[in-house]
Amino acid sequence: MTTLSRRSFLKIGTATILAKAGLESLDAFGVPAPSKVERIPTFCDICFWKCNAIASVRDGHLWKIEGNPADPLCQGRLCPRGTGGIGAAGDPDRLKRPLIRTRERGEEMWREVSWDEALAYIAERMKAIAVEHGPESMALFSHGLGGTFLKHTWKAFGSPNIAAPSFAQCRGPRDTGFELTYGEGIGSPERTDIENARCIVLIGSHLGENMHNTQVQEFSKAVHAGATVIVADPRFSVAASKAKHYLPVKPGTDMALLLAWMHVLVTEKLHDAEFVAAHGHGFESFAAHVARFTPEWAYPETGIEPDVIRETAREMARHKPATLVHPGRRVNWYGDDAQRARAVALLNALLGNWNRKGGFYTPAMMDVPSYPYPDYPKPARPRLDNPDKRYPFAGEAITTGIREATITGKPYPIKGWMVYATNLLHSLPNEKETLRAIDALDLLVVIDVIPSEIAGYADVVLPESTYLERHDDLNVELFKQPFVALRQPVVKSPDDQKPNWWIARELAAKLGLASYFPWNDIEEYLRYRVKGAGLDWETLKREGIVLGPKQPIYQEEGLESEFPTPSGKVEFYSNQLEAAGFDPMPVYQAPDPGPPGSFRLLFGRAPVHSFSRTHSNRLLSDAMPENALWLNADVARRYGLKSGDKVRLRNQDDVLSNPIAVKATQRIRPDCVYMVHGFGHTSRGLRHAFGKGASDSQLVTRYKTDPLMGGTAVNVNFVTLEPEI
Amino acid sequence: MSRYAMVIDTRLCVGCMDCVVACKTENRVPEGYNRDWITEELRGVYPDVRLEIRSERCNHCDRPPCVSCCPTGASHVHRGGVVLVTHDQCIGCKACIAACPYDARFVHPDGYVDKCTFCIHRVEKGLKPACVSVCPTHCMHFGDLDDPQSDVSKLLASRPHHALIPESGARPHVFYLT
Amino acid sequence: MLELTTTRHNPEIDPGMHIWGWEIPVYLFLGGLVAGLMIISGVRLLLMRPTERHPMICCTVGPLLGLALLSLGMLALFLDLSHKMFVWRLYTTFQITSPMSWGSWILLLVYPALGANALAHLPEAIPALAKRFPVLVTISDFILGRPRLVLGIGLANMLVGIGLGIYTGILLGALTARPLWGSSLLGPLFLFSGLSTAAALLHGILLVALPKGERPAFADFLLGTLAKWSQGRAPDPSAGPVLAKADNSFLTIELGIIGLFLIGHLGSTETHRRAVDLLLHGPYAAVFWVGVIGIGIVTPLTLQFLEMRNRIRHTLVPSVFVLIGGLTLRFILVYAGQDSHWIQASLP
């Protein structure tokens, strides 16, 4: 006789009740009743924010991923991309096995090979290049934390040429501008205390569409708490819809607006005089400098009425120091971007919000030792991305500098590229130049999860495991509260994909550099670092995150401000800039007008996509399968276009885009058009995303280089519309 | 007794679709289908425009026209006023789809009619619906209107709000704070 | 200016609702037609003297056709179901507020009512069948020998027919989320459209079955074969003008109801006005004015009026037009109805 335990009896009872209550929907999930759910902490990699998450695995299959409540970054709530992250693992278009090219570059014809063959092939060519041209002739482009171990292999190989598009193509101008002013950059996650700001000024920054989790959460909290939002943007962004003041600024004239704001603050003596007196350098010259930039002067440039400029400046002053003029993230717009970032930095300085609640805080970090590796060989030749310090204030390597050197062979030739997790054809401006550089290469290796456009040109493609299938280096985060976080595999890779650390280690072994990887597996490496930091490995594995001690991050908490500039102060007047032959204080240059009848091409982010790498993720592509061309509704009517009509864009250099659907809207100025970046894929391997929407990158054939730091400004392209019939 | 409702603060919602994606993973909503979605309603002429962004779904109405027209009782009102579809009672006649003023229902690829369940399987375990739990702006609230101390009761008592198409007479229970 | 955008993209819902294709209009058309056949056959049965026993176009052909057409209609309905395996669930419950539940039970009553009606005169209509199955004669005699049973069958056909006819309209009318359907007039409208199509069908059959020489040539072969097989006599042509007259009354009432339907919507909310605009001058206007009003009602009304005045010959044209019109009415209401929706705009 079988006895029914009380427990199983209760189970049956509950199941019956549930069934009676009409909860068959649960069964209809197709899940056998007693499903086993395992919850594994890790951190996200759909963007670079690195939110901590907990993935649920139901009966061996990925079910969902949620924010880790212990995480100071995401506070238990991932952004839509993070939530849709499991779609990356299940993407049927993923790269599955190592590939070696069989036809011309770009034809996307491959043969599948073993890892051993692929890595031997790469190592052999790298060694040949090193013999003929020196190891420095191998360049590495890498984006994100996953590149850590490859960079290590690179340095061990003897090449200093490592760059990421996140500098010259993204936040570089901002960090340079702030470093020149405060002696420190903004970093990532941005050191902005949006949550406590009483007045938030966004210049082109589209929080909410730009889904940097913590920032959006804090922005929402601030709006909820009644903060005043001021948005200057040629497009009525989502953030603009939360704003008290929306300033429909003419594209390219933000500097004029900034100067006029500073003029109002200084001439009306609304600025934080105490802060400026204590910490300002060259304020008198600066006050004299901004005296001429009246709101009346700015009006014809920006299109913003003088009264509005005055009113918004006074509004900022009213809430100081809890007024935050957001420094933005991708700010390579018009070529004077580092100077504009400096203007933003100075406007913030006038509001005295450095190291203040509601302004900029000083992030805290935990001390975690690095793994003791042997010393790297000293490269025979220095980095070549910025020869002779052509861009004297570039704080990081310039991708486009490496590209240029690859084309010209100067100052020395670059013969091989390894590209990790960045789709250079979409992230660098002017893809023709990138292709020309590729033509000059003896070896192009691409490591990625999906067959990106750049992978289509690779000699060897290495398929990487997704972040849900691998370990990575620790995330030692600089934030309001410091923490150490662990990425660990949640599921196995479905095919023959490998984690980057394994690839880096095996390649090093094939290059004869095995001594640089003294650890046997990644856990040994990670455990060493965790133990060295005095933390418990098991706790970290179980919780995914270990918080560090709270430290003062504002003046309000007792933090003393230091400004590591040459003057030791906030540099309203920059002697370094002057010495290098640049304007010591920001000045305004009117933007180049486009050809008559054309629209300035602007682009930005969508909350459900990251760069060009999430469009084959079925969960995310389902949320937004293609991009649309934002076109002023009145203009659209004149062209006889309505929402949904397809057009192609032709740019000033006669490049014609894919067809893209028009979004005729009252949310954009009539002199520009806007689209979300990253769509319009041309890689045949991306079967799902292929040909959906248009690619802004394709139309960005021109760029202006920032003379201070080498950033490539791309909002200088113009398009005309060609209706698709 | 309880009467569940959702209250969404349109002043905070940024339309990021996290609610949509979370619903999809939590409830395994098939690709190409939506139990919830984002609507943007824009009025005015540039640059003087107003934008309301809403996360929308089944309104779990007090007088659900989808339930009254269902010939088999598959569509029914569950505890707490939650409108559910019992899959193995549904014949797929689609009358409920036509009856819903919000177009909140659809035919699941497996044949039955599907829609938002207010994540009742989570709610009955004391959790919030997946969309509410994930929302990075904290613009979504879920709770019991019969409890005057609940978030939703307090918000509706203190803030101006509206529901969608109240004139349809269905008495919707998803409210939008303005 | 108002811009409304949604990220929802459910198949058959977005951007425009199209959950019902050809199956539902065909089902509603056939349902209405059968309802009309039932009412006409019921009335005819009641009006008949008990001793009057000869082939009845209304009381035999009508019900038999009705059974066949209803089965076709239900097949169409079944084809439309997306969860077919569970269709039996209709008959494990009765949902008092659901027109479709009412309908599914009414459909069950239709079969016995029509069957009884057909059996009453079957031996007269198809002697061959009666010879093979003598029990049919017994049944017929049994029915016709009991006036109260005849009365019952007649009334049952009328009442169930009225119920069925109204149900086909209320089925849509109850779905108020589609503002075009938001009118109880759809019940009588579909009832009278059903009656007109039924009368037209019977009238048409009668014309086809006229004595040789008077009937259209194409009918010769068909009828020859049929007559030989059934050993039946030609139906009584005297019913023809009665049917035409009845048809014209039904068409007139139908036209009146359409008028009221339009007026009701035009005088209602903006939502309803816009819904009816779909028919009046929207994308469905051409089909509505030409198909439903012109071909379906006005033309046959005029032709039959002239026929009855003996100004023109009786032809099949009015019957065919009425049937086309009836089908078009169901199609246009089902399609335009799905296109109509509440205007969702909530900002003040």
C130 pLDDT band, cuts 50/70/90, is: confident
Say how far apart CA A592 and CA A702 lie, in whole Å: 12
Rounded Cα gap, residues B94 and C3, in angstroms: 29
Is residue C269's pLDDT more than 50? yes
The confidence score (pLDDT) of residue C120 equals 86
Q: What per-residue confidence (pLDDT) applies to B29?
A: 96
Domains A99-164+397-547 and A169-363+565-579 share a fold: no
Give the pLDDT score at A138.
Answer: 98
Three-class secondary structure of residue C293 per DSSP = helix
| Chain B residue with Cα closest to C12 | B106
pLDDT digits (tens, 9 = 90+) for A87-137: 999 999 999 999 999 999 999 999 999 999 999 999 999 999 999 999 999
Is residue A10 predicted with pLDDT exceeding 50?
no
Whole-number pLDDT of residue C176: 84
Q: Are B164 and C344 in contact (CB under 8 A)?
A: yes
Alpha-carbon gap, residue C124 to A540, rounded angstroms: 92
Res. A157: pLDDT tops 50: yes
Query: Which of A66, A217, A241 lies at the smallest CB-CB distance from B137?
Result: A217
pLDDT grade for A48, boundaries at 50, 70 and 90: very high
Predicted confidence band of residue C314 (pLDDT cuts 50, 70, 90): confident
Give the pairing of strands A245-247 and A660-665.
unpaired
| CA distance linking residue A453 with residue A680, whole number of Å | 11
How far, in Å, CA of C323 to CA of B116, rounded? 42
Mutation target to probe the C interface, by most C beta carbons within 10 A, among B103, B105, B175, B178 is B103
Which tens digit of pLDDT belongs to each residue from B12-42? 999 999 999 999 999 999 999 999 999 999 9
In a domain, C7, yes or no: no
> In sequence order, which residues have a C-beta less than 8 Å from that of residue A17 and are 6 or more positions away?
none
User: Residue C226: which pLDDT band, with cuts at 50, 70 and 90?
Assistant: low
Question: So what's the pLDDT on residue A35?
Answer: 77
Q: What tens digit of pLDDT does each residue of A629-683 get?
A: 999 999 999 999 999 999 999 999 999 999 999 999 999 999 999 999 999 999 9
The reported pLDDT for the residue numbered C310 is: 84
Q: Which two tokens stand for residue C193?
A: 């459209």
Q: Is the pLDDT of residue C220 over 70?
A: no
Using one digit for the tens of pLDDT, what is the confidence trace for A236-247? 999 999 999 999
Instruction: Say how many residues make up chain B.
Output: 178
Q: Residue type at B86?
A: T
The counts of H helices and E strands in chain A are: 25, 27
B11: chain A residues, CB-CB within 8 Å: 223-224, 242
Dist. CA A609–CA A678, nearest whole Å: 8
Residues C144 and C116: beta-carbon distance below 8 Å? no
Chunked in runs of 10, what are the mean pLDDT values of chain B (178 residues)?
95 98 96 97 96 98 96 96 96 96 96 97 95 98 97 97 93 97
- Which of C83, C84, C101, C102 is the best residue to mutate to test the B interface, defined by the most B CB atoms within 10 Å of its own CB? C83
- Which of C4, C28, C23 minimizes the C-alpha distance to C14? C4
> Beta strands of A376-485 (E only): which ranges?
416-420, 443-448, 460-463, 475-477, 483-485
Pick the CATH number of A169-363+565-579 from 3.40.228.10, 3.30.2180.10, 1.20.1250.20, 1.10.3720.10: 3.40.228.10
Residues in contact with A720: Cβ distance below 8 Å, sequence separation at least 6, in sequence order: A597, A598, A599, A649, A650
Give me the pLDDT at residue A15, please. 39
pLDDT tens by residue, A519-556: 999 999 999 999 999 999 999 999 999 999 999 999 99
- Within chain C, strands assigned E span 2-6
> Residue C82 contacts by C-beta under 8 Å, 6 or more apart in sequence?
B92, B94, B107, B111, B112, B113
In a domain, C15, yes or no: no
Using the predicted structure, report yes or no on whether residue A516 has a pLDDT greater than 90. Answer: yes
C346, B164: Cβ pair inside 8 Å?
yes
pLDDT at A364 over 80: yes
Range with lowest mean pLDDT among A7-21, A681-695, C287-301: A7-21
Q: Pick the residue of C4, C10, C181 with the most B CBs within 10 A to test the interface with B by mutation.
A: C10
Say whether B87 and A28 touch across the interface (CB within 8 A). Answer: yes
ipTM of the complex: 0.97
Closest residue in C to B162 (Cα–Cα): C346
Per-residue pLDDT band for C211 (boundaries 50, 70, 90) equals low
| Whether A237 contacts chain B with CB within 8 A | no
Domain boundaries, chain A: 1-34, 99-164+397-547, 169-363+565-579, 599-723
- pLDDT at A2 > cutoff 60: no
Q: With bands split at pLDDT 50, 70 and 90, how would you rate the model's confidence at A374?
A: very high
DSSP letter at C59 equals: I
* Cβ-based contacts of C4 with chain B (< 8 Å): 39-42
Do residue B98 and residue C90 have CB atoms under 8 angstroms apart?
Answer: no
Q: Which residue of B has its CA nearest to A84?
A: B21
- In whole angstroms, give the CA distance from residue C135 to residue C154: 22
The radius of gyration of chain A from alpha carbons, rounded to an integer in Å, stands at 26
A238 vs C346: CA distance, rounded Å: 19
CA distance C9 to B30: 12
| Residue (of A609, A612, A628, A689) closest to A79 by Cα position | A609
Residue C32 in this model has a pLDDT that exceeds 90: yes
CA angle A624, A626, A632 (to 5 degrees): 100
Q: Cα(A171)–Cα(A370) distance, rounded to whole angstroms?
A: 26
A422/C232: higher pLDDT: A422
Residues of A whose CB is below 8 A from C6: none
Distance of CA A33 to the CA centre of its chain: 42
User: Token pair 């050993």 is at which residue?
Assistant: C231
Nearest Cα neighbor of A457 from A444, A440, A471 is A444
What pLDDT score was predicted for residue C242? 85
**pLDDT surpasses 80 at A14:** no
In the structure, what pLDDT confidence band is assigned to residue C51 with cuts at 50, 70 and 90?
low
Q: Does residue A6 carry a pLDDT above 70?
A: no
State the Cα–Cα distance between residues B94 and B110, nearest whole angstrom: 14
Residue of C3, C6, C14 for testing the chain A interface, max A β-carbons within 10 Å: C3
Any chain B CB within 8 A of the CB of A249? no
Report yes or no: A77 and B134 within 8 Å, Cβ to Cβ. yes
Contact call for A623 and C3, based on CB within 8 A: no
* pLDDT over 90 (residue A621): yes
Q: Cα angle at C61 between C65 and C331, to 5 degrees?
A: 35
Q: How many CB atoms lie within 10 A of CB A364?
A: 19
Residue A5's pLDDT band (boundaries 50, 70, 90)?
very low
**C64 lies in a domain?**
yes
Q: How far apart are CA A538 and CA A535, in angstroms?
A: 9
Tokens of C317: 């044209």
Residues of B in contact with A236 (CB under 8 A): 46-47, 49, 51
pLDDT score at A8: 41
Q: Let me know the angle formed at the C-alpha of C76 by B113 and C172, rounded to the nearest 5 degrees.
A: 60
Quick one: CATH architecture of B4-177? 2-Layer Sandwich (3.30)
- How far apart (Å, rounded) are the C-alpha atoms in residues A449 and A461? 10
Fold of the CATH domain A99-164+397-547: Rossmann fold (3.40.50)
By CB atoms closer than 10 A (0-12, 13-18, 19+), residue C230 is middle
Q: What angle do CA C243, C247, C252 make, to 5 degrees?
A: 155
- C161 is in which domain, residue-wise? 23-81+96-339
pLDDT at residue A36 in the model: 87
What is d(CA C182, CA C268) in angstroms, rounded to the nearest whole number? 10
* C-alpha span between A315 and A312 (Å, rounded): 5
Whole-structure pTM value: 0.94
DSSP label of A236 = -
In this predicted structure, the answer to whether residue A689 has a pLDDT above a threshold of 70 is yes
The minimal CB distance from B34 to the residues C10, C19, C338 is found for C10
State yes or no: pLDDT of A511 exceeds 80: yes
Is C10 within 8 Å of chain A by CB? no
| pLDDT value for C318 | 93
Contacting chains of A (3 CB pairs or more, <8 Å) are: B, C
pLDDT over 70 (residue A411): yes
- Angle subtended by helix axes A254-267 and A306-318, to nearest 10: 60
Q: Which one has a higher pLDDT value, A628 or C219?
A: A628
Q: What mean pLDDT value characterizes chain C?
A: 89
Relative to beta strand A52-58, strand A37-43 is: antiparallel
Task: Place C238 in a pLDDT band, splitting at 50, 70 and 90.
Answer: confident
- The pLDDT value recorded for residue A269 is 98
Q: Where are the alpha helices (DSSP H) in A454-599?
A: 500-510, 522-532, 537-543, 575-579
Secondary structure of A297-366 as H, E, C letters: HHHHHHCCCHHHHHHHHHHHHHCCCCEEECCCCCCCCCCCHHHHHHHHHHHHHHCCCECCCCCECCCECC
Please tell me the total count of domains within chain C: 1
Q: What SS3 class is residue A41?
A: strand
Per CB-CB distance under 8 Å, the chain B contacts of C92 are 72
Q: Which one, of A199, A205, A214, lies nearest residue A237 by Cα?
A: A205
B15 to chain C: closest CA residue: C7
Model pLDDT for residues A253-300, shown as the tens digit of each residue: 999 999 999 999 999 999 999 999 999 999 999 999 999 999 999 999
At C221, the pLDDT band (50, 70, 90 cuts) reads low
CA separation for the pair A70, A546 (Å, rounded):
9
Chain B residue with minimum CA distance to A303: B47
Q: Which two three-digit tokens encode residue B65?
A: 């026209």
Q: CB of A63 within 8 A of CB of A83?
A: no
Position C45 scores a pLDDT of: 84
pLDDT band for A565, please (50, 70, 90 cuts).
very high
Is some CB atom of chain A closer than 8 A to the CB atom of B50? yes
User: What percent of chain C lies above the pLDDT cut of 70?
Assistant: 88
Mean predicted lDDT score pLDDT of chain A: 94
C3 → closest Cβ in A623, A624, A666: A666
Residue C183 pLDDT > 60, yes or no?
yes
pLDDT digit string (tens) for C110-123?
999 999 999 988 88
Span C204-231, average pLDDT: 70
Q: List chain A residues with CB under 8 Å of B12.
A: 220, 223-224, 242
Strand partners, C113: none
Q: Hey, which CATH number is domain A599-723, 2.60.120.260, 3.40.640.10, 2.40.40.20, 1.25.40.10?
A: 2.40.40.20
